[in-house]
Structure formats: C-alpha cells, structure tokens
C-alpha cells in the first residue's frame, strides 16, 4: 500500500525537480545579471520585492496563487478571454502544471539571490584581463563568470531537490494531494488523516533515507571546508 503511494509521490517529485530546476536556475541567473545593471539606489527595493515569494508565509503564497487560478479567478478569466479554457484543479496535467508554476514562483528568488551574491565575488582582474584580450561581454560571461558560479549552481540544485521532498503547502492548498503528491504530504496525510502512526513512521524512515543520499555530497563539502578552515 505504502509502496504505491510513495512511488506516486517520488514520481511527481522527480517530474517537479526535472521541470523546475532549469527554469529556476536560468531565470534566477538572468534576473541576477539584470539586477547588477540597476543603479545602487534602486537595488535595495528591487531585491526586497524580488524576494517576496520566498519569504512570505508559504501557506499564504500558495493561497494567493490559488485565488488567481480558481475557475472564477483573474488568470483563468484572462486566459478565457484569449480563448484558452482551463479548469486548473480539475485535471491531472493542469493540476501538476499549477504546482510546478507555483514552485518556480516560490524558488526562483532563492536561486536569484544566491547567484546575485556570487556575481559580486567574480574576480575583477579576470574580467579585465579577458576584455583586454578582446573578449566580448558574452564571451566574458561564458568563460569567466559562469565557471565561477558553478559551485553555487550545484548548491542550488541540491537545496531545491531537498525542498521538492518537502513540498507541502502548495500540495495541500492547490490540489489537496490529487494528481500531485510529495513525500512529505504522503507522510503527513497517512499520520493525520488515516491515523496510522506505524505506516507514517515507515514513510518517515523512507524519506530520511532519501534525504540521506542527497546529503552525502553536502556533508563531504562541509567536512572539507571545516578541515580547510582548521588547517
């Protein structure tokens, strides 16, 4: 029984990660690059506003998206007037798409701010040397800036994948778990709706094993950093 629920949750989690990761990272990078072009005085406001989806109470964030995508919501009606009729919560593909759209909206600010901070630390002399050697802005981006951001992209990828296991509020709010399930939602609903603490514990152990696999590279990195710091 648990096997099929868990398999479904893992299946959706994988779909979610595969679709959202590239969009979140590329979107975050584009926004970060754009923000570096904004004058200092406006940056503070721009960053604060850009971070909203990530900081606001997750329940409220998910609800505000739901209210836009109700059958009589703003987005649904605007699409309707363009001749596109979608009942978002009624079908599997649209319910999944909605959770994925919410995921991009929620997670992009984190990728943005991490990459933006990374851009501040791109070595200036490397950039200058590249332009002295006649590299175009695009070449400088590709050969100097992006390699520098590599480790951060890995970091975002790991955090985002772990967050996908934890997906909870959007699942509860947007679809009540139909068509879209996350590992964390499955554990929660087995425990509180089925009232089966034993089965929920089994789900919890499976979750912990899954997270442990993702954790290994992070722990290794932390140990290395620690040793480097001590030496």
Partner 1 sequence: MRILAYGIVLTWIALAAGPLAWTALLSLRDYVDAFAIPVQLFAPLTLEHYRTLWLVSGFSENALNTALLTFGTVSISLSIGCLAAYALSRTTARIGLLLLMLALAFRAMPHAALLPSFVSVFEAIGVRGSLPPLMLVLIAVNQPFTIWMLRAFFLSVPRDIDDAALVDGCTRFQAFRHVILPVMGPGLVTTGLFSFLLAYNDFLLSSALTNAENMTMPVAIASVIQADSESLLMQGIAGSMSLTIPLLLLIAVFQKRIVEGLTQGAVK
Site for partner 1, residues 88 to 127, rule: CB under 8 A: 105, 108-110, 113-114, 117-118, 121
Q: How far is the CB of 53 from partner 1 (least distance, A)?
A: 5
Task: Give the binding-site size for partner 1 (rule: CB under 8 A).
Answer: 83
Q: How far is the CB of 98 from partner 1 (least distance, A)?
A: 12
Q: How far is the CB of 157 from partner 1 (least distance, A)?
A: 12
Please tell me whether residue 185 binds partner 1 under the rule CB under 8 A. yes
Please tell me whether residue 12 binds partner 1 under the rule CB under 8 A. no
Please tell me whether residue 85 binds partner 1 under the rule CB under 8 A. no
Site for partner 1, residues 140 to 179, rule: CB under 8 A: 152, 155-156, 162, 165-166, 168-169, 172-173
Please tell me whether residue 208 binds partner 1 under the rule CB under 8 A. yes
Please tell me whether residue 219 binds partner 1 under the rule CB under 8 A. yes
Q: How far is the CB of 217 from partner 1 (least distance, A)?
A: 12
DSSP string, the chain: -HHHHHHHHHHHHHHHHHHHHHHHHHHHHHHHHHHHTS-HHHHHHHHHHHHHHHHS-HHHHHHHHHHHHSTTSHHHHHHHHTT----TTTSHHHHHHHHHHHHHHHHHHHHHHHHHHHHHTS-HHHHHHHHHTT--HHHHIIIIIHHHHHHHHHHHHHHHHHHHHH--HHIIIIITTSS---HHHHHHHHHHTS--HHHHHHHHHHHHHHHHHHHHHHHHHHHHHHHHHH-
Q: How far is the CB of 134 from partner 1 (least distance, A)?
A: 19
Per-residue binding letters, 35-64, with partner 1 (x by CB under 8 A): xxxx-----x-xxxxxxxxxxxxxxxx-xx
């Amino acid at each position: 029984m648990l096997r099929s629920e868990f398999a479904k949750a893992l299946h959706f989690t994988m779909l979610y990660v595969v679709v959202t990761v590239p969009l979140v990272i590329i979107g975050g990078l584009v926004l970060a690059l754009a923000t570096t072009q904004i004058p200092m005085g406006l940056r503070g406001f721009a960053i604060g506003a850009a971070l909203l989806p990530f900081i606001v109470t997750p329940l409220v964030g998910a609800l505000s998206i739901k209210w836009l995508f109700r059958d009589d919501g703003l987005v649904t009606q605007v699409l309707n007037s363009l001749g596109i009729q979608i009942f978002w919560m009624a079908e599997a593909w649209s319910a999944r798409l909605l959770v994925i759209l919410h995921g991009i909206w929620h997670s992009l600010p984190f990728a943005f701010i991490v990459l933006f901070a990374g851009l501040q630390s791109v070595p200036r002399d490397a950039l200058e040397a590249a332009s002295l050697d006649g590299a175009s802005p695009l070449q400088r981006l590709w050969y100097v800036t992006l390699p520098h951001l590599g480790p951060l992209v890995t970091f975002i990828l790991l955090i985002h994948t772990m967050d996908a296991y934890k997906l909870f509020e959007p699942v509860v709010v947007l679809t009540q778990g139909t068509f879209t399930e996350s590992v964390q939602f499955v554990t929660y609903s087995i425990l509180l709706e089925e009232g089966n603490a034993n089965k929920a514990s089994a789900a919890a152990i499976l979750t912990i094993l899954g997270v442990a696999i993702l954790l290994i590279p992070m722990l290794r990195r932390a140990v290395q950093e620690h040793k480097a710091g001590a030496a």
